[in-house]
Structure 1
Amino acid sequence: MADDSQIIEKLDTLAGDYEIESIENVLKHVENLNLEELAPNLKVAVLRRKAEWLYALSNHEEDKKKRYELLENAYNSALSAHSIDESDFNSLKVLCSTSGRLAEESGIQKKIHFGFLFKGYLDKAIALNDNDFETLHMRGRFSYTVSNLSMVERIAAKVIGKIPETSYQEALQDLLNADKITPDVAENQLFVGKTYLALGDLPNAKIWLKMAAENESEGCVEEELVEEAKEILKDKKFAKI
């Protein structure tokens, strides 16, 4: 086996630009590693990267069943990394992103289950770093989603646990702060627009939804978000604004 110090460097080089072929190639190399021979910190680094690469691969997968399987594998890899080092911020971020996406792509029971898991991981991540684009975006997105829950979803959620108190204003603050850190992200622009829309601020909703709709999409998931922005803008209430 290569020297431990060279393993991560080699994997990152293979991952390259995160194109599908590069990701599939580096994942094959990870499968050939004997993780039990690695020091704990290196094992965490490999497992976390594996989760990130599986998550990235899911963004290119059109088949929603296969996409879900990739997300589950990514979640499990990140969870393994977290079980070794609970203070690793990057592993927590991947746990947030994977559990959040699993919640979005599940039926109501699993949606609620992963939603509660997501909130727990997110609280831990923000306690470690409260000025990170991804965590601010995810918290804003979570606040929007919880504030937008239907009555049926709220009743189902109460069976599992207490629903966090959130508001559209809290969602907007986090999403706008995320944009200040990393602007021009279609996913974040879409949720800023949707939050303004929920607040009844049509002019600002249109501004942000147009930015999302005109953004260049990379991968199937981002393309779906851009298309969502375009569909929302077709509503006749935006015609005179």
Structure 2
Amino acid sequence: FNGSGVMSRPGFLILRSLLLTAVKGKIVRALTQVKYASSVWARLIPTTAFVFPLALKAMADVSVIQEADKLYDDYKVEDAYNLLSKYRDSKCDEYLWRLARIIYEKSKAVDNPEKKKLIFEAFDIIQEALKINDKNFSCYKWNAVLLNKKSEQEGTKQRIQEAENVKANMEKGLELNPKDASLHHMLGLWCYNVADLPWIQRSIASAVFATPPTSSYEEALESFLKAEEISPNFYCMNLAMIGRCYMKLKNKEKAIEYLSRIKGMTIKTADDKQALKESDEMLKSLK
């Protein structure tokens, strides 16, 4: 049976064969076979639903995922890497995007050429994850991050060329999960960086594109505030960028309000430390 009360084709074929046997006079044997086949089919039904998805895509162990996420949240980068690297060849998108994420985190602690090597490794892994599951918003999120970081390593022209692809990945991630605060933050960063593009890079963009990417500090602020609305105080850097946008928009009072909030937050990650440093510098400039 297929779960809706309708017998599936394999079940129908078994029953038809057995009934034909009964018609030929082997009623007792047929009934015995029906009873046996029914018991076997009943045992198969709970597992059959899982056989085909498993053949198409490897399933993640929930306990491993929970442990990996906790290690990431606690910023135990090496421990998280040691755990997830065991699943490098798993063909499971949930393992792979997390592995790409933690390798990218490792890249923040080193300089080139090691940084570049790690970023390119993480980028290759996230490509695999997307091929396995193109409906996973986290794959698009980390593809956006890593495509941007990879293009940074390849030079200004390449970064500008990939700008729209980076944005497209963020927008696809938000289409799949509009409540992800970090994706809204990333889109805000994209808007801010485009709005803040130096003159020489704008000239390159104009040469590369018939219509170069455009944005504004207002658009950036809108995305950062949306992220904060979804998950208040989730990320020190989001508060720092809100403060930075308000500075660009000449709203000193609001800038001080958001920048001051960072001092009361837990500082764990490399980004947290950077946000604290930048917020201190901005607050000093506002006094």
Coarse TM-score class (shorter-chain normalised): 0.7 to 0.9
**Native 8 Å contact 1:175 1:188 kept in 2:** yes
C-alpha deviation, 1:110, in angstroms: 3.7
Shift in alpha-carbon separation, 1:218–1:125, aligned structure 2, 3 A? same
**Native 8 Å contact 1:62 1:220 kept in 2:** no
Structure-2 separation of matches of 1:64 and 1:189: 29
Mapping of 1:118-129 within 5 angstroms? 118-129=166-177
Q: Which residue of 2 aligns with 1:30?
A: 87
Mapping of 1:170-189 within 5 angstroms? 170-184=219-233, 185-189=235-239
Q: Which residue of 1 aligns with 2:102?
A: 53
Cα RMSD (Å) = 2.7
Q: Which residue of 1 aligns with 2:280?
A: 230
C-alpha deviation, 1:145, in angstroms: 1.3
Candidates 153, 156, 168, aligned match of 2:204: 156
C-alpha deviation, 1:217, in angstroms: 2.3
Structure-2 separation of matches of 1:105 and 1:210: 33
Deviations 1:48-81 (A, max 9, x none): 222122233334x143643343233222211221
Task: Give the % identical residues.
Answer: 24
Unaligned runs of at least 5 residues, structure 1: none
Residue 166 of structure 2 is aligned to residue 166 of structure 1? no
C-alpha deviation, 1:45, in angstroms: 2.4
Structure-2 separation of matches of 1:224 and 1:110: 26
Candidates 77, 82, 99, aligned match of 1:20: 77
Shift in alpha-carbon separation, 1:6–1:154, aligned structure 2, 3 A? closer
Structure-1 separation of matches of 2:258 and 2:153: 24
Structure-1 separation of matches of 2:153 and 2:256: 26
Q: Which residue of 2 aligns with 1:217?
A: 267
**Native 8 Å contact 2:237 2:271 kept in 1:** no
**Native 8 Å contact 2:85 2:99 kept in 1:** no
AA aligned to 1:216 is T
Unaligned runs of at least 5 residues, structure 2: 1-53
